Amino acid sequence: MNRTSQVSVTSRSGAQPALFGLPRVFWLAWRDLTLEFRGRAGLLAAVFFLATMLLILGLALGPLRSDLEKAAPGVLWVSLAFAGSLLAGRAFGLEVEDGTLDDLLLTPGSKEWIYFGKFLFQLMLLLLVALALLVMTAGLFYLPLKAWPALLFTVFLGTIGYAAISTFYAGLLARLRGREVLLPLLLFPLVVPVVLAAVRATAGLAQGLPVAEVADWWRLLLVFDAVYVTVCSLLFPLALEG
Amino acid sequence: MTPPLVKTEGLGKRFGQDWVLQNLNLSLERGELLVLLGPNGAGKTTLLKLFSGLLRPTAGTITHSGTPGFVANPPAFHRHFSGLENLAYALRLAGRPVDLAQVSDALSQMGLPPAKAVMNYSSGMKKRLALARLSLLRPDLWLLDEPEAALDTEGRKLLEGMLSEARKFAGVVVATHERSWVGQASRVLTLGGGAG
């Protein structure tokens, strides 16, 4: 039997141009952050995991200060990547746990704003964890914080790329069983370039290299961020359709 | 002439090898109440989801105009938020201005406490909250999956009043097992198959 399928929308009275979705992006991110802090489960699990991981790595790589200092940039970013994989599902986990994903999908207009709202939430969550991690790595692994503005900038660029991909995959897998297992498997191969560039930039700053010598890694991170955010936001509506 | 809120031509939906709906042709205008009857698994909820755009058809075409609003059975809310917060965020995410006094008023009309966390709501209270959300969002197409389920007598009266008000500006589709809806319906569609 020859079957064709087609969906068309004549007009959706609530549909708005993308620009006017900006307040909704911030409201969605703010709502999810509020929910995350009220529920606490995801954030507490990630911080506890981080503390345990850093302690184990410290014991395994120490006790010589020079060894710990050398390992610090790698420890920082590998720990953030692992803790990030725990938090990666939170962007849509909140919707799945409460069964509210359909309500979100029924909001008027195109669906890119949902991606940006969830991305912003994921970014803020990762930045909070990254800040805690930076302090812990400085304490346990002697990561020098002299160049802290440049370090923060590196962390910011690295987390943008990570959050862009994890938000996309979290949305893509939101309705699937076994998403907790699939998410890190899909996520890690794509974040490798971001983590590598971020490690190199952090290592340069830790060695006291001038900013001009680290700037190439920042440029690379910026390119990855721009590509990942653009591609993921464009593909996201298709990912939600399944 | 305004286009129908939803129009289907040869609409079909298949899950795996099983066709739940086949060759469905219908349209719905503002002011109409379409009642979907049928046994469990007949495709009532599937049809509501197709109307809302949450599902895509396997066959045929479906044309929407206007915004849909969907009350699932059971309805879903963020359990850590109060009723007031859930409704306020629903309006904000729909790109609507939020008047908290109006939201509180909608909650009190439904007999709901504004500050109580939804995790402490009963099933009937959640259903009332879903109806309050729909009345604030005022979609063009009201899609209700077993709206009477979990509602007490008072709740059912509120529902009836709300739907007669909604029919002044919107189309309404109700999926139900209760034949009492037939008397109010503009049209009744009985779906076959399913478990029955």
**Interchain CB contact of B12 with A (< 8 Å):** yes
pLDDT at A41: 78
pLDDT tens sequence across A83-113: 888 888 888 888 888 888 889 988 887 888 9
Contacts of A6 in chain B (CB under 8 A): 57, 60-62
- DSSP, residue by residue, A26-54: HHHHHHHHHHHHHH-HHHHHHHHHHHHHH
**Interchain CB contact of B182 with A (< 8 Å):** no
Distance from CA of A136 to the nearest CA of B (A): 31
Q: Do residue B66 and residue A31 have CB atoms under 8 angstroms apart?
A: no
Mean pLDDT of A10-38: 74
pLDDT at B196 over 80: no
Residue B188 bridge partners (DSSP) = B35
pLDDT at A8 over 80: no
Distance from CA of A163 to the nearest CA of B (A): 21
Q: Which two tokens stand for residue B29?
A: 């205008």
Mean pLDDT of A31-41: 88
Mean pLDDT of B108-131: 94
Percent of chain B clearing pLDDT 70 (strictly above):
97
Sheet holding B18-28, edge to edge: A5-11, B59-65, B6-15, B18-28
Q: Do residue A23 and residue B95 have CB atoms under 8 angstroms apart?
A: yes
Candidates A1, A3, A33, A95, partner chain B, best to mutate (most B CBs within 10 A): A3
pLDDT at A14: 45
Q: Are B170 and B143 in contact (CB under 8 A)?
A: no
Contacts of B72 in chain A (CB under 8 A): 99, 102
Sign of CA dihedral A117, A194, A156, A20: negative
DSSP structural state of residue B81: S
- Domain boundaries defined on chain B: 6-77+124-130+137-190
pLDDT at B28 over 70: yes
Tally of CA atoms within 13 A in the half-sphere of B15 that contains its CB: 9
- Degrees (nearest 5) of the Cα angle A191, A192, A194? 65
Question: Whole-angstrom Cα distance, residue B31 to residue B23?
Answer: 25
What is the complex's ipTM, to 2 decimals?
A: 0.86
Q: Among all residues of chain B, which has the CA nearest to that of A35?
A: B80
pLDDT tens sequence across A164-223: 999 999 988 888 888 888 888 888 888 899 999 999 999 999 888 888 888 999 999 999
CA distances from A227 to A190, A216, B140 (A): 12, 17, 38
Q: Are B56 and B93 in contact (CB under 8 A)?
A: no
Q: Which of A168, A173, A142, A158 is nearest to A83 (CA)?
A: A158
Distance from CA of B107 to the nearest CA of A (A): 19
Q: Which residues of A10-47 are buried (b: 16+ CB within 10 A; e: fewer)?
A: eebebeeeeeebeebbebbbbbbbebbeebeebbeebb
Candidates A13, A24, A34, A98, partner chain B, best to mutate (most B CBs within 10 A): A98
pLDDT at A213: 87
pLDDT tens sequence across B87-104: 999 999 998 889 999 999
Residue window 31-60, chain B: list those with CB within 8 Å of chain A: 52-54, 56-60
Which residue in the block uniquely carries the two structure tokens 């509180």?
B104
Query: Which architecture does CATH list for B6-77+124-130+137-190?
Result: 3-Layer(aba) Sandwich (3.40)
Q: Which two tokens stand for residue B103?
A: 């939201």
